[in-house]
Amino acid sequence: MAKLKLKVAKSGRVNPQTKAKGFAARVITNGTAGYEDIVAEACHNTTLHKAEAKVALELCMESVAEMLKQGYIVDLGPVGKLYPSCTSGWVEKAEDLQLASVTPSLYYRPADEVSAAIKGATLQWAKETDEDEEGGTAGGGTTTGGSGGNDGDDTGGGLPSGGGDEVLTP
């Protein structure tokens, strides 16, 4: 597996608790790898035709979506696992927890090799001219909220213990 190199920018942020202005790091991506990119990479140096690979990938992704809709944990092999989950605020008494305060979500846990690549990534400061997929530049503007991932809010999940989990909300 190739060594992961991440470009990191200083992004203006507002602390959601104190409302103080400050900065946090965010990754400037290299863009999005879409279906066509994945198919082309998967077919490289094989006898598999791109059309066959595309159909196979689409069928796999439809199956993944269906399994998630049925409430299964989906093991994506070398990519990792997807877990249906939920988040809620903390309450002192069980009877105070209401379904209206529970939000369905999806957790992703990378496979060991992916997790090791992320943890061992080389970080470098992005240049002011570096632009990510969302059109933001390394000098980006101020936004409210946290770091874009799981900000340590351990308010739900049912996810097996361990770090490096990303919360994806619909």
- pLDDT per position as a tens digit, 109-133: 999 999 999 999 999 999 888 876 6
Joined tokens for residue 121 = 């990534």
pLDDT at 136: 57
Asked whether residue 144 carries a pLDDT value surpassing 70, the answer given is no
Which of 16-25, 138-147, 158-167 has maximum average pLDDT?
A: 16-25
pLDDT at 149: 39
Burial class (CB in 10 A: 0-12, 13-18, 19+), 26: buried
Contact, 7 vs 126, CB < 8 A? yes
Asked whether residue 82 carries a pLDDT value surpassing 80, the answer given is yes
Burial class (CB in 10 A: 0-12, 13-18, 19+), 41: exposed
The architecture in CATH of the region 5-168 reads Irregular (4.10)
Amino acid at 134: E
User: Per-residue pLDDT averaged across 124-148, rounded?
Assistant: 60
Asked whether residue 147 carries a pLDDT value surpassing 90, the answer given is no
pLDDT at 16: 85
Quick check: helix, strand or coil at residue 114?
helix
pLDDT at 32: 92
Domain residues of the chain, as ranges? 5-168
CA distance 115 to 120: 8
Q: What is the mean pLDDT of the chain?
A: 81
How is 64-105 classified by DSSP, letter by letter?
A: HHHHHHTT--EE-TTSEEEEEEEE----SSGGG--GGG-EEE
Quick check: helix, strand or coil at residue 117?
helix
pLDDT: is 2 or 87 the higher one? 87
30-43 confidence digits (pLDDT tens): 899 998 999 999 99
Quick check: helix, strand or coil at residue 56?
helix
Amino acid at 124: Q
pLDDT at 145: 38
CA distance 21 to 12: 7
Asked whether residue 159 carries a pLDDT value surpassing 50, the answer given is no
CA distance 72 to 135: 35
pTM (global) more than 0.85: no
Residues in contact with 3: Cβ distance below 8 Å, sequence separation at least 6, in sequence order: 117, 120, 121, 122
pLDDT at 3: 84
